[in-house]
Structure 1
């Protein structure tokens, strides 16, 4: 498990390609492929949906970075140059912030292109989960978002010297400076990979059973939020309030929001069921 995927010199400049960048790009391409397929099933213009995804990704990156900066200001940004806020190459994104940012941009793009916003969300929901799964693979390889300490040898992982977990464990006295590996931790990002792939498959399967606009996205909010609440207990967030992390409180909010979306969409008779085509 290494942070760097590829490193080389190009015209005198050192180019560093990191694992999370590779997996983020892979996730975007996988999501784009699925998005186009689902757009056709829902009778939507794939090009317009692709445009919406592109601009939503920009909003997602901004939102994800903004929440990371706010959440980890004291640890990573206080008393450091302001430019560090924009040092994306060093990593530091929070998915929930990205989801919020992406949704805001998606709303305005859908309105501009006269696309039903709820239908667009239903098309995108499994794609978001799929892209997120790739991102968590990047987290695992990069060493960020690492889990809490684990005593089960069959599933525990250790990260090499100099990695995020190793540095954190050294500061907290879990390991000695001469240690070559971090303490054993839960592979929390991998837990999320399997869960997110499952969410993607579930939403694709239910797309024709819960066809009323908005219900698939509401279900995505509910299912993912429940998982996020659970997986946070396997992570190592030290900043807890009443025993829960900030991510868990946000997840509780998004779960309730998902429930509200499902109920309102189900009761609103003005929302027509789209005629889904066969794959």
Structure 2
């Protein structure tokens, strides 16, 4: 555009980018999400399979189950992303580069995971399946956040503290600021923002470690799954308040899932206490 004035060039460039988020290229010319999604999926399958071997579960059935769960999780994450965007469907090449929302994956797993378990691993107790799946999901989502960091997406509010990070041109953080007219020079990196993606990663990893430690101390099968809903989504829901741009549906859904997990824990604790009291009061 050599014949355009600087202001015209900026307007033309902005028009080209309008509604077309970009991501830095990762391995082999792919954006980081597509470059890392297969290794993360393989990790999740291996972790889930090896953990269930302690329960005498056949390896190949566990692998088939995890592959099926990974597929429905991705579909759920994509559908929830479309929902938060008002069902604004972009070209396939753009949809493949991002647009995945965790609450959709969580809801898909909760709703369809038990059905897949009954179909593929009918002998495995449902509650034990959910416990092991909860631990696996924690570590898998922690690894997915690495791609969020490399792509510069899922970032927080603009800040100037030492822990705040600037992301390069083409990242989602840069694109959001570019659309808002906050960048004086589009060739520069984004203004420093809170690395919310890393906080999400630490939260998922910490909950996963806690659940592994608590596994040997659990009072009943299914307790880990409820703790996962309460802790993991509770932490995520609180952190969502710092996301920029803020997406209310993400925070509301995560906090609702966390509340459901807490309600389940309290209900089961109440039922177990009543049974214990009745047993103690018997002849």
Give your verdict on TM over 0.5.
yes
Q: Which runs of 5+ in 2 are unaligned?
A: 1-22, 274-283
Contact 2:241 2:251 in 1 (8 A): no
Which structure would you say has the larger Rg?
Answer: 2
Match for residue 184 of structure 2?
Answer: 176
- 1:36-64 C-alpha deviation (Å, 9 max, x unpaired): 22202234333322222111111111110
Alignment of 1:1-279 (within 5 A): 3-7=24-28, 16-73=29-86, 77=88, 84=91, 87-112=94-119, 113-114=121-122, 115-152=124-161, 154-239=162-247, 245-266=248-269, 267=271
Residues 182-238 of structure 1, C-alpha deviations (whole Å, 9 max, x = no match)? 111011111111221111110001011115121100000011122112211321134
TM-score (norm 1): 0.81
Q: TM-score with structure 2 length normalisation? A: 0.80
Q: Which runs of 5+ in 1 are unaligned?
A: 8-15, 240-244, 270-279
Higher normalized strand content (fraction of residues): 1
The Cα shift of 1:179 comes to 4.4
RMSD, aligned CA: 2.2
Q: Partners in 2 of 1:141 and 1:255 — Cα distance?
A: 28
CA distance in 2, matches of 1:184, 1:215: 40
Q: Which moved more, 1:62-71 or 1:115-124?
A: 115-124
Aligned mates of 1:111, 1:204 — CA distance in 2:
24
For residues 22-79 of structure 1, the C-alpha deviation after alignment (integer angstroms, 9 at most, x for no partner) is 32222222222221222022343333222221111111111100000010137xx2xx
Higher relative contact order (CA 8 A, sep 6+): 1
1:64, 1:98 within 8 Å by CA — same for their partners in 2?
A: yes
